[in-house]
Amino acid sequence: MLPVACSRESSPKEPERHYQMTGVVVSLDAKLQTATVKHGQIKGWMEAMTMEYPVRSKSDFAKLHEGDKITATVDVSGSDYSLSNVQVQSGSQ
């Protein structure tokens, strides 16, 4: 599902770009393998907001718990985006 409230500074048909993000996991959807992340500004791409991101790999998704503080790489290709290189900085458990 694409967030409608999002204003992104990207246009379609660009090569994949990568941004570093820091945020907190708000909720997880194991079925869709998505994480809703409250993140700070992602310079050059997006303002600070809370939104849902597909997590590219199962092993990255398995690391996540609600409340975890994470860093990740956002892979952006046109209007598609996903998270990779997920690192949990401080866990909630």
Residue 30 CB, nearest distance to Cu ion (Å)? 22
Q: Which of 50, 58, 3, 43 has the alpha carbon at shortest distance from 27?
A: 50
In the complex, what is the shortest distance from the CB of residue 46 to Cu ion, in angstroms, rounded to a whole number?
5
3-state DSSP assignment of residue 72? strand
Exactly one of 6, 32, 48, 62 binds Cu ion (CB under 5 A); that residue is: 6
Asked if 49 touches Cu ion (CB under 5 A), the answer is yes
Residue 35 binds Cu ion (CB under 5 A): no
Q: How far is the CB of 21 from Cu ion (least distance, A)?
A: 10
> Whose CA is closest to 41, among 20, 65, 70?
20
Please pick, from the candidates 42, 46, 72, 74, the single residue that binds Cu ion as defined by CB under 5 A: 46
Question: In terms of CB distance, is 35 or 51 closer to Cu ion?
Answer: 51
Q: Is residue 53 within 8 Å of 33, Cβ to Cβ?
A: no
62 near Cu ion, rule: CB under 5 A: no
Counting contacts by CB under 5 A, is residue 51 touching Cu ion? Answer: yes
Query: Phi/psi at 59 (nearest 5 deg)?
Result: -70, -35
Neighbours of 66 (CB within 10 A): 13
